[in-house]
Amino acid sequence: MRTLIESLAVLFGRTPRQPAPESISDAARAIHEQRMERRTHEETERIKGLHSAQARKLKRWRLRRWATLILVNLLFIVSYKLDIQMLEGALTASRFVGFHMADLNAALQVMLAYKQVLINLLIGIVTILLIWWTLGGRTFCSWICPYHLVSEWAEIIHMYLRKRNIVREHTFSRATRTWLWLIFAALAFVTGYTVFETISPTGILSRALTYGPGLALLWVGFLLLIEIFYSRRAWCRYVCPIGLTYGLVGSTSPFRVQHDLKKCHHDGICRAVCLVPHTLEATKRGRSSKVKTYLGADCTRCGKCIDVCPTGALQYKFKGLGKSK
């Protein structure tokens, strides 16, 4: 329970805390003490070699994720254009071979605006809730959301410009997202209008892909320019309440990314590529309370950390299958 509370607190914006000394297991403490010793030159060179070899490998999880994301959104287009009624609508509300599905955040906004529980939305919520609870964390964000993909491409440009000192990185408080979640919910209730849905790049892109482009795409382009030239992945990190909603739903899922302290070199490569590096706090030297720990509710399950880790210290696992020490 303590771990879940800490995970949710970090999801809402709190900075991760260093584990209390009494919470660190004997097995983890022994590894930490061993890691405090200075690395030999040979060990340092060996680790560099592992990273060089890993960098040349294909980023398999990224390719799988991009392929899944593109195929799901392409299915909306094909279903609409060919009228095959397989995946109808857009990500905010759709039907898959007759089953209603509704984005959880959009459904919440609608019910707050109309001040009643709509049966079709309720059915759609249950379906989606089961799917994303099973997959856990913010899996929707990295595996389905079309804005996440274009934002990831914008991030590549941003990092290229940063390496050449053309742009600088600007960060904000992650708690901003929590406050905006509350503000948008309150606006829906007070105004009777789903205010967030008019500016959500997820909904805008999903509808544009299916039904054709509109002027709202200018807003999406503006957000991407901010992320390229000012703040890396700003919308997903500091604004979007959709990620917060799915993080809450997936916080108790048994499917997680597991960190193995024995295999970790604490080199920070995983945190450098991660959209939500605060979920990788256990990869810092001395920060893991157990030999095997699981990433928190804000993890998008994107697999980028798994792709870059040369020792397999990070892997997809089902919590409860295996021992934690």
Q: Write a three-state SS string for the chain.
A: CHHHHHHHHHHCCCCCCCCCHHHCCHHHHHHHHHHCCCCCHHHHHHHHHHHHHHHHCCCHHHHHHHHHHHHHHHHHHHHHHHCCCCEEEECCEEEECCEEEECHHHHHHHHHHHCCCCHHHHHHHHHHHHHHHHHCCCHHHHHCCHHHHHHHHHHHHHHHHHHCCCCCCCCCCCHHHHHHHHHHHHHHHHHCCCHHHHHCHHHHHHHHHHHCCCCCHHHHHHHHHHHHHCCCCHHHHHHCHHHHHHHHHHHHCCEEEEEEHHHCCCCCHHHHHCCCHHHHHHHCCCCCCCCEEECCCCCCCCCHHHHHCCCCCEEEEECCCCCCC
- 221 within domain boundaries: yes
- 10 within domain boundaries: no
- 184 within domain boundaries: yes
- 2 within domain boundaries: no
Q: What is the pLDDT of residue 23?
A: 85
- 37 within domain boundaries: no
- The boundaries of the domain holding residue 137 are 61-248
Domain count, the chain: 1
Give the chain's mean pLDDT. 91
pLDDT digits (tens, 9 = 90+) for 2-43: 889 999 999 999 999 888 888 889 899 888 888 777 677 777
Q: What is the mean pLDDT of residues 41-64?
A: 83
pTM of the model: 0.91
- 319 within domain boundaries: no
- 39 within domain boundaries: no
More confident residue, 172 or 44: 172
Q: What is the pLDDT of residue 240?
A: 95
pLDDT digits (tens, 9 = 90+) for 114-130: 988 877 778 888 888 99
- 283 within domain boundaries: no
Share of the chain above pLDDT 70, in %: 98
